[in-house]
Structure 1
Amino acid sequence: MSKSSAESKLRAKAEKIISEKTDLIKDLTLEESQSLLHELEVHQLELEMQNEELRETQHRLEESRDQYTDLFDFAPIGYIVLNERAEIKNINLTGCDLLGIERSFVIGKPLSAYISKGQSRNLFLNLRKAFETGLLPSFEIEMKHKSKGNFMALLQGVITKDQKNKTAVCRVSLSDITELKKAEALQISHESLQKEKEKIQQYLNLAPVVFLLIDTEYKVQMINKKGCELLGYKRQEIIGKHWFGNFINFENHDKVSLIDQSRHKIKGSLIPYFESYIKCGNNESRLMSWTNVALLDNHKQHIGTLIAGEDVTERKKLELRKQKYTEELEQLVEERTKELKEALAKEKNINEMKSAFVSMASHEFRTPLTSILSSTFLIKRYNDMKEYAKERRHIERIKSSVHQLTSVLEDFLSIDKLERGIVAIKKETFDLNEFIAEIIEDFEWMLTENQKIKHVPKGSAEVFLDKKILRNILLNLVSNAIKYSETDVKIRSFVNKKVLKIVVEDKGLGIPEKEHKDLFKKFFRAKNVAHIQGIGLGLSIVKHYVRLLGGTIMFSSKMGEGSTFELVLPLQP
C-alpha cells in the first residue's frame, strides 16, 4: 500500500469521527470555541512533531536494516539459517555464491540437497547434537557447487530463537576451505619432502663420494658431508653459490665445453662425465672425476643436475707412478738387452783380451828378469875384478825387479780371488799410524832423491778393519802416486767412531778427463802413462777391496797438476 492511500483512509476515518461529535460542540460559546480551537492547534502541532520523530526513527531503522542486510548478504563467509529438519530458512548472498544458486531457489530446500553423496549423515548428526546442546561445533563437509563441482566447507554455528514464530533455529556460518585444505596438504607434503630430504641427506652424508644437487643456474642446492669436508667449507657457505664459478678450476676446461651440446640432449644439462680440479678452502687443488645426471619434471623440462664426484688425485698419481715404472722397466729391459749384446760382443773379443793379457804379462815378466840376469852377470864380473863398490847398485836393481815381479803376481792372484769371491774378511783392532808408517818404510827403496812420503794423521789412531786388505789398498794407491809423480806424496788420515778416511795425494802427471770413467776397469792404463811400467790391475783391485769392506773411493785429477784419491771405510764392528 502506498503512503498517499494510507493517509486518505486515515483522513476519512477522522472526518467520520468528527461528524459523529458535531452535536457536542453546537452549544459551545465563542470563548469556549476559541479555547477548544487553541487546544486543537496545540494538539495538532504535537502530532506533527511526533510524526516527524516517527519518520526519523523509521528512517534510522531502515538505514540500520540496510546496514545489517549488507553485513548479512555481503559477509566474506556464507550464513545459513536452518530449522531442526535442516531446511534452509534464510541464506545470505555469499552462501548463494558458494552454492551457485539464487536465493529464491534455495529458501525452503534441505541443506542436504547441496551436500555430496554420503555426507548427509554427518550433517544431521552434528545438527541434532547442536539443537540439544545449543552449539554447533566446527566440522568439515564436502558440498556441491551447481557448476564448479565439489568443494570442502567448514560449518559452525549456534542455536537461537526465530523472532517471528519463536521457534529454535540454527544459525550456521559456511566457509570454503578448499584452498586451505590444499595449502595444508601442500604443507604436509612439504614437511614430508623435507623429512625425506633430511633422510636422503643422512644417507648421502655416509657416502664416501661427493654428492651435490645444482639448479638450472648451476647454483648448489644440496651437498653431502664428504663434499663439505673435501672443499673445506661449511654447508651454509656452499649452498646458493655458483658451482662452476666458485669451486671448479678451469685449467683444462671452460664452462661451455662442460655443457652437453648434442642436438638431442636437454638444454642446459652437463656432459655425462668429465674430470676437473676443484678449488679447496686450504688453497689445495684436488683432481675429481664427475658423473652427472639431468633431473627433469613431468613435462620433461630440465630442473637441475645431480652430480657424483670421486677424488682421483691419489689414483692418478698411482697411475702416473705405474706408467713411469712401466717406462723405467721397459728402459731397464732395453738396457739389459743392450748389456747382453755388449756381453756377447765382449765374449767375441775375449780371446783377443787373453792374448793381450799374455802379451802384457810376458812383457812385465821379461823386463825385470832381463834386468836380474844382466845385474847378476855384472855383479859376478865386478866381483872377479874386486870392484865391490859397483856391486851395490846392481843388487838394488835385482831387489827392485824381484819386488816388481812379486807385485805383478800378487795383482794377478788378488784379482782372480776377488772375482771368484773367495776373499774372506778378518777384522782386527790395530794402530793406524804405526800401520801407515810400516807402509811408508816399505816404499823407501822406490823413492827418488826428490821424493818423500808425508803422513798427516787426525783423530783417533785405533781402527777395527781387515789389516791385510787395507794394506793391499794402500800399497796400490801409494805405489801409483810414487810411480806417476816426481815430487812428494802426502797421506792424510782421519778416524772417528764411525768411519776411516784416507786421502793419497800426488803432484804428478794427472789423468786425462776423457779417461776418468775407465780408470777402475781391468787392464786400463791412461794414454799419458803408456811409457811407465804397469799392467792396469791396481785400481781395479782397489775398487773390489773397497766394495768388499762396504766403503767408497773417489778421485779428482787434472792434467799436469796431479791426482787425489779419497778412501772412506766404515768402522762399525
Structure 2
Amino acid sequence: MSSGAEHNLRAKAEAKIRERSQAIQNLTLEESKSLLHELEVHQVELEMQNEELREAQHRLEEVRDQYTDLFDFAPIGYLVLNEKAIIINSNLTACDLLGIERSYIIGKPFSAYITNGESRTLFLNLRKAFETGILPSFEIKMKHKSKGEFTVLLQGTITKNKISESTVCRVSLIDVSELKKAEILQLQHKSLQKEKEKIQEYLNLAPVVFLLIDTEYNVQLINKKGCDLLGYNSIEILGKNWLNNFISLADGKGSILSYKYIKNENGLLNPNFESFLKCNNNNMPLMSWTNLTLLDENKKYIGTLIAGEDITERKKLESRRQKYTEELEDIVAERTKELKEALQQEKIINEMKSAFVSMASHEFRTPLTSILSSTILIEKYNELNESTKVKRHVDRIKSSVNQLTNILKDFLSMEKLERGIVTTSKENFTLKVLIKDIIEDLHWMFKENQKINYVEKGSIEVFMDKKILRNILINLISNATKYSQTDIQITAFIKKNVLFIEIEDRGIGIPENEQKYLFTKFFRAKNVSNIQGTGLGLSIVKHYVNLLEGTITFISKIGEGSTFKLAFPLCP
C-alpha cells in the first residue's frame, strides 16, 4: 500500500475515535481496561492484516510485472483490436515489427500498417471473426517504418474485456518473411534438383562423356557414359579433382605435357585438347575434349561444362589411313614411274615397230629384187649358153631365199613364243656335233677370211632340247658374224652340272645407253641401222633361254666387241 493511502486511512480512523471519545469518558476503570485490551488486540490484528495485504500487493505487482514482461517481450507480436480494427493495446515486439513506438500505435487503425490491397482481406476476416468468435490464421503483408514490406502470419481469438465488457480481438503477429524466403529457396532448390535430374537423364543418354566441374576443377556432375568409361560409380567420382585424378598428361610418346597444354594463364581450360584418360581398369583411352566456360550474370567464372569423345579407335584408324595413304602414295609414285617407263617403252616399241616396218619392207624388197633381177638375167644367159654366169645368179637367188626364210622364221617363232605354244622336247646329243652343223649351215654368211673357233673343255654330252638350243646358237653366231669382220670365238664347258657357252666377237659393240633395251622386241641399236636385221632375234633368244630355264648375259663395249654368256642347268 502506498504512503498516501495509509495517511487517508489514519485520518478516517482518528475522526471516528473523536466521535466515540464522549462515550468513553463515562466508562468505569474496569470497562476502560477491557476496552483498551480489545483495542490492543484489534491493533495487532490490523497490523497483521496490513502486513498480509502488503505481501499480497507485492506478489500482485511481481505477477503483473511478469505478465507485462511476458506480453511485451514475447517472440511474436500481440495486438488487441476492437470491432473497428482500432489498436487498443500492443506489445513491444509488435512495435518493433512495425518500427514505431507504442504510444504512436495505440488508438490507430490496424489498416494503417498493412500494404495497399490487403485492407479488404483484413476487414473481411475480422468481421467474420467477431461474428463466429474464431479468427483463422492467414498471411498478410505489413509495412515497417523504414525497412519496407514484410509478411506476417496473423491469427487470434475473440474475447470480452472484463473491465469495459466490450468484445475485442486478440491478435498474434509472426514475421514469416525469412520462412517465406526459405520456402522459396526450398522450392527453387527442388526445382533445380528436378532440372538437374532431368539434365542427368538426358546426359545419360548421350554417347559421349559429359561432366560439370567447379572453379577448383572438382567434379559436380557426370553422365553414365563417363562413369562406364572410367570404371567408377558417380559417388566415387563426384567431388574429386578432375585434372589430378583422371587426366593424364602423357603424350603417348614417352613425354609429359605441360599444364599449359590444357589450361591458360587464367586457369580456364582450353576450348579443345586431347589427352589420355586414367581409368579404374588401367585402360588409358585417348579422348578429345571440348570445354565450355560457364559465367554468371556478372561475368564471373563459376565452372566448366566438358564433353569428351573416345577417339582411340579413330586415331588408330587415322594412323592406319595415314600409313595406307603414304604407302598408296608410294605405290602411286612407283606405278607412275612404271607407267612413265611403260609409256616410254611403248614409245620406243612403237618407234621400233615403225623402224621394223621400214626395215621389213627393205629386207623383203632387197632379196625379192635380187631374185627377180637374177631370174631375168638367167633367162638371157640361157639363151646365150653362158652357164657360168647362170650359176652365179642361182647362188644369189638361194641366198635371197635364205634371207626371206630367216625373216619368216623370226616372225613365226616370236608369234608362237608370245602365244605360249612352244614346248620343249629333250634328247641326248653331242654339243660339238651340233655346233659343227650350225657353222656349216651359216658358212654362206661368213665374210672373207672370217672363221669360227670352237673350244670345248672335255667331251660334252647333254640331255636337253636340241632344236631350241640350235635356234639360240644360230641367232647369236649369225649376229656375231654379221656385226664383226674378224674371227668368232665359241667356248663351252660344264661346271657343277651347269652348261656354259660363251660367244665372243670383236665387232662394233653395243652402245652402253641402249644395252638395257637389247632383248626388247623390234629393238635395233642405232649403230646397226645400215646392217640387215629384224630386231626380233635377241628377243626370241631370251624367250628360248627362259624355256630352257637358263640365263643369258652379255658384256659389250663400242669398238671392242661383245661376249654373250649362256648358262643352262643340266639334269643330274
In structure 2, what residue type is equivalent to 1:115?
A: I
The count of residues paired between Structure 1 and Structure 2 equals 397
Contact 1:368-1:405 within 8 A present in 2 as well: no
Aligned position for 1:139: 138
**Partners in 2 of 1:187 and 1:39 — Cα distance?**
80
**Partners in 1 of 2:550 and 2:336 — Cα distance?**
25
State the shift of 1:100 in Å.
1.1
State the shift of 1:410 in Å.
12
* SS of residue in 2 equivalent to 1:283: coil
Aligned position for 2:466: 405
**Partners in 2 of 1:341 and 1:166 — Cα distance?**
127
State the shift of 1:134 in Å.
2.1
Is 1:295 aligned to residue 294 of structure 2? yes
Is 1:195 aligned to residue 194 of structure 2? yes
Aligned position for 2:174: 175
**Partners in 1 of 2:183 and 2:151 — Cα distance?**
13
**Partners in 2 of 1:309 and 1:74 — Cα distance?**
62
* SS of residue in 2 equivalent to 1:21: helix
State the shift of 1:250 in Å.
0.6
**Partners in 2 of 1:45 and 1:60 — Cα distance?**
23
State the shift of 1:369 in Å.
5.4
Is 1:524 aligned to residue 557 of structure 2? no
Is 1:59 aligned to residue 53 of structure 2? no
Contact 2:213-2:305 within 8 A present in 1 as well: yes
Aligned position for 2:369: none
Deviations 1:319-371 (A, max 9, x none): 1111101110122123334545776899989x9xxxxx99xxxxx99x93533
Aligned position for 2:326: 327
- The change in CA–CA distance for 1:403 and 1:520 in structure 2 (over 3 A counts) is closer
Equivalent positions of 1:79-478 (< 5 A) are 79-252=78-251, 253-261=257-265, 267-339=266-338, 368=430, 370-371=432-433, 400=461, 405=466, 408=469
State the shift of 1:130 in Å.
1.6
* SS of residue in 2 equivalent to 1:193: helix
- The change in CA–CA distance for 1:321 and 1:373 in structure 2 (over 3 A counts) is closer
Contact 2:134-2:157 within 8 A present in 1 as well: yes
- Cα RMSD (Å): 3.7
Aligned position for 2:534: none
In structure 1, what residue type is equivalent to 2:466?
A: L
- The change in CA–CA distance for 1:41 and 1:374 in structure 2 (over 3 A counts) is closer
- The change in CA–CA distance for 1:401 and 1:302 in structure 2 (over 3 A counts) is closer
* SS of residue in 1 equivalent to 2:215: coil
- The change in CA–CA distance for 1:244 and 1:521 in structure 2 (over 3 A counts) is farther
* SS of residue in 1 equivalent to 2:122: helix
Q: Percent identity over the alignment?
A: 62
In structure 1, what residue type is equivalent to 2:258?
A: D
**Partners in 2 of 1:101 and 1:273 — Cα distance?**
62
**Partners in 2 of 1:521 and 1:325 — Cα distance?**
41
**Partners in 2 of 1:8 and 1:373 — Cα distance?**
182
* SS of residue in 1 equivalent to 2:285: strand
Contact 1:91-1:103 within 8 A present in 2 as well: yes
- The change in CA–CA distance for 1:233 and 1:5 in structure 2 (over 3 A counts) is closer
Aligned position for 2:34: 35
**Partners in 2 of 1:411 and 1:58 — Cα distance?**
158
**Partners in 2 of 1:374 and 1:218 — Cα distance?**
99
**Partners in 1 of 2:84 and 2:548 — Cα distance?**
128
- The change in CA–CA distance for 1:520 and 1:324 in structure 2 (over 3 A counts) is farther
Contact 1:372-1:401 within 8 A present in 2 as well: no
State the shift of 1:526 in Å.
11
After the TM superposition, which of the residue ranges 128-137 and 169-178 deviates more from structure 2?
Answer: 128-137
Contact 1:214-1:304 within 8 A present in 2 as well: yes
**Partners in 1 of 2:130 and 2:68 — Cα distance?**
26
**Partners in 2 of 1:54 and 1:41 — Cα distance?**
20
State the shift of 1:306 in Å.
0.8
In structure 1, what residue type is equivalent to 2:264?
A: D
Contact 1:80-1:173 within 8 A present in 2 as well: yes
* SS of residue in 1 equivalent to 2:268: coil
In structure 2, what residue type is equivalent to 1:259?
A: K
State the shift of 1:169 in Å.
1.2
So what's the TM-score if we normalise by structure 1? 0.63
**Partners in 2 of 1:247 and 1:296 — Cα distance?**
24
- The change in CA–CA distance for 1:538 and 1:153 in structure 2 (over 3 A counts) is farther
Contact 1:368-1:404 within 8 A present in 2 as well: no
- The change in CA–CA distance for 1:246 and 1:27 in structure 2 (over 3 A counts) is same
Contact 1:209-1:227 within 8 A present in 2 as well: yes
Contact 1:205-1:224 within 8 A present in 2 as well: yes
In structure 2, what residue type is equivalent to 1:371?
A: V
Aligned position for 1:76: 75
State the shift of 1:29 in Å.
1.5
State the shift of 1:211 in Å.
1.2
Aligned position for 1:18: 17
Gaps of 5+ in 2: 252-256, 353-409, 414-425, 438-458, 474-493, 500-545, 555-564
Contact 1:86-1:110 within 8 A present in 2 as well: yes
**Partners in 2 of 1:99 and 1:520 — Cα distance?**
123
**Partners in 2 of 1:141 and 1:247 — Cα distance?**
54
Contact 1:141-1:153 within 8 A present in 2 as well: yes
Contact 2:498-2:569 within 8 A present in 1 as well: no
**Partners in 1 of 2:13 and 2:282 — Cα distance?**
112
- The change in CA–CA distance for 1:3 and 1:340 in structure 2 (over 3 A counts) is closer
Contact 2:498-2:567 within 8 A present in 1 as well: no
State the shift of 1:318 in Å.
1.5
**Partners in 1 of 2:280 and 2:227 — Cα distance?**
10
- The change in CA–CA distance for 1:71 and 1:410 in structure 2 (over 3 A counts) is farther
Equivalent positions of 1:549-564 (< 5 A) are none
Deviations 1:515-535 (A, max 9, x none): xxxx999643799xxxxxx95
State the shift of 1:293 in Å.
1.1
Deviations 1:469-516 (A, max 9, x none): xxxxxxxxxx998669xxxxxxxxxxxxxxxxxxxxxxxxxxxxxxxx
* SS of residue in 2 equivalent to 1:190: helix
**Partners in 1 of 2:50 and 2:547 — Cα distance?**
149
Contact 2:497-2:569 within 8 A present in 1 as well: no
**Partners in 2 of 1:218 and 1:408 — Cα distance?**
87
- The change in CA–CA distance for 1:481 and 1:82 in structure 2 (over 3 A counts) is farther
State the shift of 1:7 in Å.
2.6
Contact 2:212-2:306 within 8 A present in 1 as well: yes
* SS of residue in 2 equivalent to 1:8: helix
State the shift of 1:249 in Å.
0.9
Aligned position for 2:358: none
- The change in CA–CA distance for 1:371 and 1:199 in structure 2 (over 3 A counts) is same
Deviations 1:144-203 (A, max 9, x none): 111111111110111112121122211111011111111111111111111111111111
In structure 2, what residue type is equivalent to 1:333?
A: V
Contact 2:86-2:109 within 8 A present in 1 as well: yes
